[in-house]
């Protein structure tokens, strides 16, 4: 039973890695082929520093977008910026962006016709303009601190849930959070036209700009760092006009995100220690579409 | 082996003779029903017994002999022993009693002539005498009541009761009859009857015929096509007066039907309905006599219009308060003004309506008060309907507020799902992720923000009007509960339980009469009446009782979501 009668002398029968047979070896016996299928770090990618920095630019530019938006709002609140001016500027930027989008993406089959785009624009404009008196009175009875706190939380949620890997269809939660924050802020402005202008600007900055950026990154690789740098500069500069300390903070944050964090990432890769083996769960790799007819 | 003999109390002092009764099948017991005295002719006894068997469906036989020797009657013993050869038997009882002694003597003789069991033997048959009051057992009904035809599975006690109750034809002949047989049983001093009961029994049949015809005429009137048009039907199902009328008509149908009640339950039900109807009318007449004295009707009418006015003014003040800064809450000004003005206009309409009706109120009240002669339940139903009509505007406000709130909650929950990027999958009844279009997202978020910030205002209006509506509903519910109580309380059976408790029996209890060694055990059987709560439960008339439709948790959930609540559900009358 179990233990061999002659302990010390190795038995003649070769050991097999099965448990359903009674073998003259003890149950926890292993031979020299133990763990020969163990593999370490087979899927570890080697990051290169500047590529990571390039990708991290997306995070930085999104933070700067939020900063730009806040700048615009503050200026409108103070009365430095008139609503009609902002509206015309938004219209110009929108047309410019649309043209750029068409130029870069032209040639591939379109999912949406020009007619659909026009329809969407018309719907959105009509709705916003129609609801802006209602939107203006929404937060009348809510205290200022609450409004600021809500907006801050919502913008934070927007940043956290933004789909950085695939920004082209904007994620629901991030876009909705950003729009909610912008409605809260816009309802604090003095007039209905202000609200309308603010909301149009918010749509441009949060919904349409990431699509254009994604297209830029796909089609014209060289322009992506340029655009990112432009946006970051605009963000820091805008904040500087409001509050110098904030600008400094933003600048520092951008530096950390863009330069320091990638360095940490690359540096810590050498501590990675993943083990793989036949005990892992099976992953289906092949294309099953030939079975689904 | 224990032999139980049920012996009627009235036969304790009977003269010697034959014991007539029944052997209970399957048990070792016998029920003695009567004693046939000397002189008798055996042939006539047999003829009489077979006649009684066919009349009462009870398996009557001669059980044995009874000897209570008086002075100058010696020598009966051997005569009685010889009787066993005349009448067919499986076992023959020889009971005897000596005057002055309490205990009986008993001998059992088997058919094959075995020697009578000795009292001091080894294999002695123990005999227990159970004395019972024959009249009470005959009239009583064991509960829970079993339907006919299941006699085979009854217990011994049930069979004893059933036997005594079914042997009523046996108790018609008494000692003073001129016929050939003289019996002793509980009615042996003469049949008891009362003139009034007999007169009522005779008169009831034609009266029932007339009343049934009247009820059918009323039902024919009610079945007109014109009254079955949908609006009329809908209104009449909501007015509690109409419901109560229909319910009472059904009652009358049952009570006044010419078919005699066959089972105990049917009889009790008829009696309960009849008595409760009489009490209802009596209370209604009392109410009328109080109401129409000292000009109370006009006093009531004079106070009604100012009360309605006052209620409307209070509502107006409430709305003004809501339009301002209620309880320190900050409302959305624009929506507040819109809703407040809308409801104020309704109240203005209502006050005009009341002012228009005020000259006619007294006359209406006078005629309506007369309807109380149809019963107190009728008057209460009419009161409930009047309250419903007078607070109709509160009901309208509640419906508006609830609908608005419900739409808002529904929209909010759907848009909240859109906010998170999810959607309700109707097929799978769960929440799934969904990729929305850009414009869908945009408009969805806008609407979500608007609905969210307008929620406190709507919620407050909804809360206020729901509370008002609940107050009215509670009041109406109270009235309905009391109507229901009057309808379903089984007065007749309760009276029976109080005055003649042996009629509704739950079981029996035994008291030891004499327990001397050497003589058989004598027990006295007394009837245990049914508990009051069981009486109520067993004999409640099924009504269209209104009871809460939802439990408290479900009600709160409905209130929270904004669904319209109809807290009382009217069950339709059950017919057994």
Asked if pLDDT for residue B574 goes beyond 70, the answer is no
Taking CA atoms, what residue in A is nearest to B329? A141
Residue pLDDT, tens place only, B33-79: 888 877 777 788 888 888 888 888 878 888 888 777 766 556 666 66
DSSP letters along B455-473, please? HHHHHHHHHHHHHHHHHHH
A207 touches chain B (CB under 8 A): yes
Q: Cα separation of B288 and B199, whole Å?
A: 32
Residue pLDDT, tens place only, A266-289: 999 888 888 888 888 888 877 777
Residue pLDDT, tens place only, A77-88: 988 888 999 999
CB B347 within 8 A of CB B315: yes
Q: Which residues are bridge partners to B109 per DSSP?
A: B92
Q: Cα separation of A108 and B390, whole Å?
A: 71
pLDDT score, position A291: 78
Give B115's contacts (C-beta < 8 A, 6+ positions apart). none
Taking CA atoms, what residue in A is nearest to B435? A172
Interval B85-92 mean pLDDT: 74
Instruction: Identify the residue with better confidence: B345 or A12.
Output: B345
CB B112 within 8 A of CB B67: no
pLDDT score, position B124: 56
pLDDT score, position A96: 93
Question: Which of the four pLDDT bands, split at 50, 70 and 90, describes residue B159?
Answer: confident
Question: Which of the four pLDDT bands, split at 50, 70 and 90, describes residue B305?
Answer: confident
What's the number of CA atoms in the CB half-sphere (13 Å) around residue B154? Answer: 21
Instruction: Identify the residue with better confidence: B128 or B518.
Output: B128
Asked if pLDDT for residue A160 goes beyond 90, the answer is yes
Q: Cα separation of A77 and A142, whole Å?
A: 17
pLDDT score, position B120: 43
Query: Given an 8 Å threshold on Cβ–Cβ distance, is A172 in contact with B439?
Result: no
CB A182 within 8 A of CB B446: no
Neighbours of B45 (CB within 10 A): 18
Closest by CA position to B411, among listed B379, B443, B453, B447:
B447
pLDDT score, position B177: 63
Instruction: Identify the residue with better confidence: B186 or B529.
Output: B529
Collapsed DSSP state (helix, strand, coil) of residue B548: strand
A-chain CB neighbours of B453 within 8 Å are 138-139, 142
Interval A114-122 mean pLDDT: 87
| Average pLDDT of chain B to the nearest whole number | 80
CA distances from B143 to B127, B175, B265, B504 (A): 28, 34, 11, 7
| Average pLDDT of chain A to the nearest whole number | 87
Instruction: Identify the residue with better confidence: B515 or A23.
Output: A23
Nearest chain B Cα distance for residue A152, angstroms: 16
Query: Given an 8 Å threshold on Cβ–Cβ distance, is B449 in contact with A124?
Result: no
Asked if pLDDT for residue B179 goes beyond 70, the answer is no
Out of B418, B420, B443, the one facing A127 most closely (by C-beta) is B443
Collapsed DSSP state (helix, strand, coil) of residue B43: helix
Taking CA atoms, what residue in A is nearest to B456? A141
Asked if pLDDT for residue B426 goes beyond 60, the answer is yes
Asked if pLDDT for residue B408 goes beyond 90, the answer is yes
DSSP-derived letter for residue B208 is: H
B-chain CB neighbours of A160 within 8 Å are none
Interval B420-443 mean pLDDT: 86
Whether residue B181 has a cis bond before it, omega within 30° of 0:
no
DSSP letters along A23-71, please? -SS-TT---TTTTTT-EESTT-----HHHHHHHHHHHHHHHHHHHHHHH
Q: Cα separation of A151 and A182, whole Å?
A: 7
Q: Cα separation of B87 and B64, whole Å?
A: 9
B-chain CB neighbours of A139 within 8 Å are 453
Residue pLDDT, tens place only, B446-460: 899 999 888 888 888
Query: Given an 8 Å threshold on Cβ–Cβ distance, is B449 in contact with A141?
Result: no
Collapsed DSSP state (helix, strand, coil) of residue B330: coil
Out of A131, A173, A180, the one facing B420 most closely (by C-beta) is A173
Collapsed DSSP state (helix, strand, coil) of residue B331: coil
Q: Which two tokens stand for residue B22?
A: 């029944």
pLDDT score, position A126: 92
Q: Cα separation of B277 and B376, whole Å?
A: 10
Interval B338-363 mean pLDDT: 85
φ/ψ (deg, to 5) at A169: -85, 115
Report how far apart the first and last C-alpha atoms of chain B are (Å, whole number): 44
Most confident of A2-16, B101-115, B534-548: B534-548
Closest by CA position to B79, among listed B67, B61, B92, B93:
B67
CB B39 within 8 A of CB B163: no
Q: Which two tokens stand for residue B149?
A: 């035809």
A144 touches chain B (CB under 8 A): no
Q: Which residues are bridge partners to B154 per DSSP?
A: none
φ/ψ (deg, to 5) at B31: -115, 120
pLDDT score, position B119: 43
Q: What percent of chain A has pLDDT over 70?
A: 94
DSSP-derived letter for residue B506 is: E
Question: Which of the four pLDDT bands, split at 50, 70 and 90, describes residue A234?
Answer: very high
φ/ψ (deg, to 5) at B461: -60, -45
Residue pLDDT, tens place only, A165-191: 887 777 889 999 999 999 999 988 988
pLDDT score, position B151: 56
Asked if pLDDT for residue B575 goes beyond 50, the answer is no
pLDDT score, position B156: 80
Give B567's contacts (C-beta < 8 A, 6+ positions apart). B473, B477, B548, B549, B550, B555
Give B566's contacts (C-beta < 8 A, 6+ positions apart). B549
Asked if pLDDT for residue B121 goes beyond 50, the answer is no
Closest by CA position to B245, among listed B574, B4, B573, B503:
B573
Most confident of A149-163, B309-323, B352-366: A149-163
Closest by CA position to B148, among listed B165, B131, B130:
B165
Instruction: Identify the residue with better confidence: A155 or B269.
Output: A155
pLDDT score, position B269: 83
Most confident of B168-172, B188-192, B401-405, B493-497: B401-405
DSSP-derived letter for residue B411 is: H
Neighbours of B342 (CB within 10 A): 12
Out of A131, A141, A207, the one facing B446 most closely (by C-beta) is A131
CB B106 within 8 A of CB B95: yes
pLDDT score, position A194: 92
Interval A14-28 mean pLDDT: 85
CB B517 within 8 A of CB B156: no
DSSP letters along chain A, please? --S-SSTTSPPSSPP-S-SSS--SS-TT---TTTTTT-EESTT-----HHHHHHHHHHHHHHHHHHHHHHHHHHHHHHTSS-HHHHHHHHHHHHHHHHHHHHHHHTTSPPSS-HHHHHHHHHHHHHHHHHHHHHHHTTTTTS-HHHHHHHHHHHHHHHHHH--SS--SS--HHHHHHHHHHHHHHHTTSSSHHHHHHHHHHHHIIIIIHHHHHHHHHHH-TTHHHHHHHHHHHHHHHHHHHH-HHHHHHHHHHHHIIIIIHHHHHHHHGGG---EE-TTSPP---S-GGGT--
Question: Which of the four pLDDT bands, split at 50, 70 and 90, describes residue B274?
Answer: confident
Give B302's contacts (C-beta < 8 A, 6+ positions apart). B362
Interval A234-245 mean pLDDT: 91
Q: Cα separation of A224 and A213, whole Å?
A: 7
Give B446's contacts (C-beta < 8 A, 6+ positions apart). A127, A128, A131, A135, A179, A183
**Chain B residues interacting with chain A (CB cutoff of 8 angstroms):** 330-334, 418-421, 435-436, 438-439, 441-446, 448-450, 453-454
DSSP-derived letter for residue B57 is: -
Residue pLDDT, tens place only, B374-385: 888 888 888 888
pLDDT score, position B122: 42
Strands B183-184 and B141-142: unpaired
Nearest chain B Cα distance for residue A94, angstroms: 16
CB A262 within 8 A of CB A53: yes
Interval A113-118 mean pLDDT: 84
Q: In degrees, to the nearest 5, what angle opens at C-alpha B364 toward C-alphas B359 and B369?
A: 140
Residue pLDDT, tens place only, A250-270: 999 999 999 999 999 999 988
Query: Given an 8 Å threshold on Cβ–Cβ distance, is B442 in contact with A124?
Result: yes
pLDDT score, position B75: 60
Collapsed DSSP state (helix, strand, coil) of residue B2: strand
Question: Which of the four pLDDT bands, split at 50, 70 and 90, describes residue B576?
Answer: very low
Residue pLDDT, tens place only, A212-224: 888 888 888 888 9
Rounded to the nearest 10 degrees, the angle between the axes of helix B438-488 and helix A172-186 is 80
Q: Cα separation of B66 and B34, whole Å?
A: 11
């Amino acid at each position: 039973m179990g233990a061999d009668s002659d302990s010390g002398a190795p038995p003649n029968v070769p050991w097999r890695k099965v448990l359903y047979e009674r073998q003259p070896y003890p149950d926890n016996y292993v031979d020299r082929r133990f763990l020969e299928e163990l593999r370490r770090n087979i899927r570890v990618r080697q990051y290169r520093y500047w590529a990571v920095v390039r990708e991290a630019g997306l995070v930085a530019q999104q933070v700067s977008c939020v900063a730009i938006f806040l700048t615009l709002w503050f200026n409108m609140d103070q009365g430095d910026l008139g609503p009609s001016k902002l509206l015309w500027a938004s219209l110009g930027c929108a047309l410019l962006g649309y043209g750029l989008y068409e130029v870069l993406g032209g040639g591939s089959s379109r999912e949406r016709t020009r007619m659909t785009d026009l329809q969407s624009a018309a719907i959105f404009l009509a709705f916003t303009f129609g609801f802006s008196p209602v939107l203006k009175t929404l937060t009348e009875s809510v205290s200022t601190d609450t409004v600021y706190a809500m907006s801050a939380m919502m913008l934070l949620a927007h940043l956290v849930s933004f789909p950085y890997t695939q920004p082209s269809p904007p994620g629901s939660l991030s876009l909705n959070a950003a729009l909610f924050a912008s409605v809260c802020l816009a309802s604090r402005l003095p007039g209905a036209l202000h609200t309308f202008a603010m909301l149009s600007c918010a749509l441009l900055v949060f919904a349409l700009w990431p699509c254009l950026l994604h297209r830029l990154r796909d089609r014209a690789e060289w322009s992506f760092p340029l655009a990112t740098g432009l946006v970051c500069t605009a963000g820091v500069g805008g904040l500087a006009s409001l509050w110098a300390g904030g600008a400094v903070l933003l600048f520092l944050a951008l530096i950390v995100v863009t330069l320091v964090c990638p360095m940490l990432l690359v540096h810590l890769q050498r501590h990675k220690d993943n083990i793989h083996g036949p005990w892992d769960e099976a992953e289906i790799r092949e294309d099953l579409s030939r079975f689904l007819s | 082996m224990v032999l139980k003999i049920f012996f009627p109390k009235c036969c304790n002092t009977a003269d010697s003779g034959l014991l007539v009764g029944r052997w209970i099948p399957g048990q070792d017991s016998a029920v003695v029903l009567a004693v046939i005295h000397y002189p008798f002719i055996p042939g006539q006894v047999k003829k009489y017994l077979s006649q009684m068997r066919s009349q009462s469906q009870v398996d009557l036989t001669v059980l044995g002999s009874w000897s209570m020797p008086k002075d100058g009657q010696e020598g009966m013993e051997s005569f009685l022993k010889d009787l066993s050869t005349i009448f067919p038997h499986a076992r023959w009882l020889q009971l005897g009693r000596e005057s002055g002694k309490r205990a009986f003597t008993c001998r059992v003789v088997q058919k094959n002539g075995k020697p009578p069991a000795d009292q001091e033997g080894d294999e002695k048959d123990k005999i227990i005498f159970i004395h019972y009051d024959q009249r009470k057992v005959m009239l009583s009904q064991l509960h829970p009541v079993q339907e006919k035809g299941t006699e085979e599975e009854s217990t011994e006690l049930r069979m004893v009761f059933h036997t005594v109750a079914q042997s009523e034809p046996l108790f018609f002949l008494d000692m003073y009859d001129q016929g050939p047989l003289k019996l002793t049983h509980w009615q042996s001093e003469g049949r008891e009857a009362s003139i009034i009961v007999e007169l009522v029994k005779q008169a009831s049949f034609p009266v029932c015929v007339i009343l049934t015809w009247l009820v059918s005429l009323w039902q024919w009137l009610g079945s007109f096509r014109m009254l079955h048009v949908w609006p009329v039907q809908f209104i009449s199902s909501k007015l509690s007066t109409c419901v109560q009328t229909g319910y009472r008509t059904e009652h009358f149908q049952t009570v006044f039907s010419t078919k005699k009640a066959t089972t105990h339950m049917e009889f009790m039900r008829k009696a309960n309905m009849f008595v409760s109807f009489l009490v209802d009318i009596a209370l209604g007449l009392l109410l009328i006599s109080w109401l129409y004295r000292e000009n109370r009707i006009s006093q009531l009418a004079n106070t009604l219009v100012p009360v309605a006015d006052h209620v409307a003014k209070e509502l107006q003040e409430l709305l003004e308060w809501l339009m301002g800064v209620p309880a320190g809450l900050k409302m959305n000004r624009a929506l507040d003004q819109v809703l407040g003005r809308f409801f104020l206009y309704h109240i203005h309409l209502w006050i005009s309506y009341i002012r228009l009706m005020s000259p006619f109120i007294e006359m209406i009240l006078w005629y309506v008060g007369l309807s109380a002669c149809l019963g107190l339940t009728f008057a209460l139903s009419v009161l409930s309907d009047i309250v419903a009509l007078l607070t109709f505007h509160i009901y309208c406000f509640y419906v508006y507020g609830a609908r608005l709130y419900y739409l808002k909650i529904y929209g909010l929950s759907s848009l909240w799902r859109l906010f998170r990027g999810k959607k309700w999958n109707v097929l799978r009844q769960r929440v799934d992720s969904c990729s929305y279009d850009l414009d869908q997202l945009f408009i969805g978020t806008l609407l979500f923000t608007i609905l969210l910030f307008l929620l406190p205002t709507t919620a407050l209006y909804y809360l206020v009007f729901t509370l008002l509506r609940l107050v009215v509903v509670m009041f109406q519910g109270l009235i309905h509960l009391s109507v229901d109580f009057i309808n379903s309380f089984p007065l007749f059976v309760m009276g029976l339980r109080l005055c003649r408790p042996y009629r509704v029996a739950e079981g029996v209890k035994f008291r030891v009469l004499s327990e001397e060694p050497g003589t058989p055990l004598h027990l006295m059987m007394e009837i245990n009446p049914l508990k009051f709560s069981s009486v109520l439960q067993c004999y409640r008339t099924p009504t269209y009782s209104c009871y809460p439709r939802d439990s408290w948790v479900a009600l709160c959930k409905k209130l929270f979501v904004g669904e319209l609540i109809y807290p009382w559900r009217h069950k339709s009358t059950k017919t057994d």
